[in-house]
Amino acid sequence: MAENLSRVRAAIDRACDRANRDPSEVRLLPVSKTQPTEKILAAYEAGVRIFGENRVQEAAGKAAELAAHADLRWAMIGHLQTNKAKDVAAFADEFQALDSFRLAETLDHRLQQADRSLDVFIEVNTSGETSKNGLPPGEVAELAIALQQFDRLRPRGLMTIAANTDDQDQVAACFRTMIEVRRQLQDDDRIDADYGELSMGMSGDFELAVEHGATTVRVGTAIFGTRR
């Protein structure tokens, strides 16, 4: 596990070098979905303190099982239905797939009840693929403005899953779209939050994402191996 983590971090460092970036600007988020708690603990022993999960029930079970590790944090990165908002509000530290006002409203209500707060990323569909969740780029600002009424949600940035293709130009275009959407939000006088973080890039394209400005890369297979 330590060797896998070291390999991924070295690849991030190389991508930063190519882009003339400081590696400290890029956070590695290991994605532990479908992986057993034994592998999570191995990564924890290797220094990892935050893990990405897709499915609420699975993540909640892992959080309960590993509750003794007080410094362990969870990032939910998969699509969330409103009826699962209560569960996420109870244990997650960040949520990277916010894509509707209704979900934001429900999360804020559940967080009020739990007396917790939650870091959130707006999910952007940069590829235009109907199979992907997320808002079209042109609708992101409207949600960003609406989020300002919710005390328990802390907007941190944007998240995307790039086009599912081997065409690197097409993948890079998705990442460039994220840069443009962020610029538009930061130039909008109606929006107070910075939206400085860009969560983009997975095991197959995280180096390209880093070269195009990613501040968080979500890597699973390259760290944990093939999923069950």
Q: Diameter of the chain by CA atoms?
A: 47
Residue ranges making up the domain that contains 150:
2-224
Q: Are 95 and 133 in contact (CB under 8 A)?
A: no
How sure is the predictor about 228, in pLDDT bands with cuts at 50, 70 and 90? low
d(CA 44, CA 175): 30
pLDDT in tens, 12-49: 999 999 999 999 999 999 999 999 999 999 999 999 99
Mean of all residue pLDDT scores within the chain: 97
Q: How many structural domains comprise the chain?
A: 1
The CATH number given to whatever domain includes residue 50 is 3.20.20.10
Task: Please identify which residue in the block is written with the tokens 């400081």.
Answer: 22
pLDDT digits (tens, 9 = 90+) for 147-202: 999 999 999 999 999 999 999 999 999 999 999 999 999 999 999 999 999 999 99
In eight-state DSSP terms, residue 24 is G
